[in-house]
Amino acid sequence: MSKKVLVLAETREGSLRNVSFEAIAAGKMIADGGEVISVLIGNGITDVVNELVAYGADRVITVEDAKLEQYSSDGFSQALLAVIEQENPEGIVMGHTSLGKDLSPKLASRLNSGLVSDVTAIEADGDSPKFIRPIYSGKAFEKKVIKDGLTFITIRPNNIPALEKEDGRSGDVSSVSVDITDLRTIIKEVVRKATDGVDLSEAKVIVAGGRGVKSEDGFKPLKELADLLGGAVGASRGACDADYCDYSLQIGQTGKVVTPDLYIACGISGAIQHMAGMSNSKVIVAINKDPEANIFKVADYGIVGDLFDVVPLLIEEFKKVKVS
């Protein structure tokens, strides 16, 4: 049976995040031929609505208010609840991002609904699709089926492919006016410590460093390699604890969980907490001087050697490929 599904779109610095398009694709699987409505919340956001339609949204609803310029769970929940009340959907999809992880349990509680979080794949099966999510730090996977009530899920970025973009596609765009009141938190300033460039959680290529980089300067060749490959730089907790880099780069059980197409681990021993955050990467390349390092157990390709010798060689070879 076809369903109406709301999909929350996310923006960063005025641009739509890739997870917004992936969420639309997930919404299509749940809708089963029904309507997928993308919801965009913020201020001054109308410039990007057509892109949501191009990636598969049947309709786009915007909620704009100066109080929604920056994310707050109070403001966004008020805005989204107003749209949910108006549309009465059978499904809700949002990214398993910092925003989604904060907002989704609050909404589920308000709606008296269940929530399947961190979904990495969906098996379409008529009225009851199966939602696959990792458990036990990625050591196993479970399949969830929602038999009754609202289908509410969050999806892990970079796992469910977005639909092909259709620039000529048409869809209705409307706005909902919501009186945002009683905000307990007002964000006056956002100080970003994250590095410029590709968003780590959505990067297709990640070059990560551990204690083996030895210093802050040790990350420079990793940054050069990541830039060359159009990727992002990450780190293990050990590197962050040693003040080699900021904690915004941390990948692992207590950091970001990533699933890039290519993960290059440089000087990372492979503690279980770190591997919980990256072991589902499609291709893993490990560079380490210790042939017994735990990281080699999950690596598709292993290079036993000093990262300060190996990484410059990789940079040189990739530059040749780019030139040719």
The DSSP string of 79-138 is: HHHHHHHHH--SEEEEESSHHHHHHHHHHHHHHT---EEEE-EEE--TTS-EEEEEETTT
Q: How far is CA 107 from the centre of its chain?
A: 19
Give the residue ranges of the annotated binding site. Answer: 211, 236-237, 250-254, 267-274, 288
Number of residues assigned to the chain: 324
* Alpha carbons 204 and 118: distance in angstroms, whole number: 18
Give the residue ranges of the annotated binding site for FAD. Answer: 211, 236-237, 250-254, 267-274, 288
- Type of residue numbered 239: A
Measuring CA to CA, how many Å separate 59 from each of 23, 36, 307? 14, 7, 49
- Type of residue numbered 305: G
Buried b (16+ CB within 10 A) or exposed e, 284-314: bbbbbeeeebbbbebbeebbeeebeebbeeb
* Alpha carbons 177 and 292: distance in angstroms, whole number: 60
- Maximum distance among all Cα pairs of the chain, rounded to whole angstroms: 61
- Type of residue numbered 271: A
* Alpha carbons 109 and 95: distance in angstroms, whole number: 18
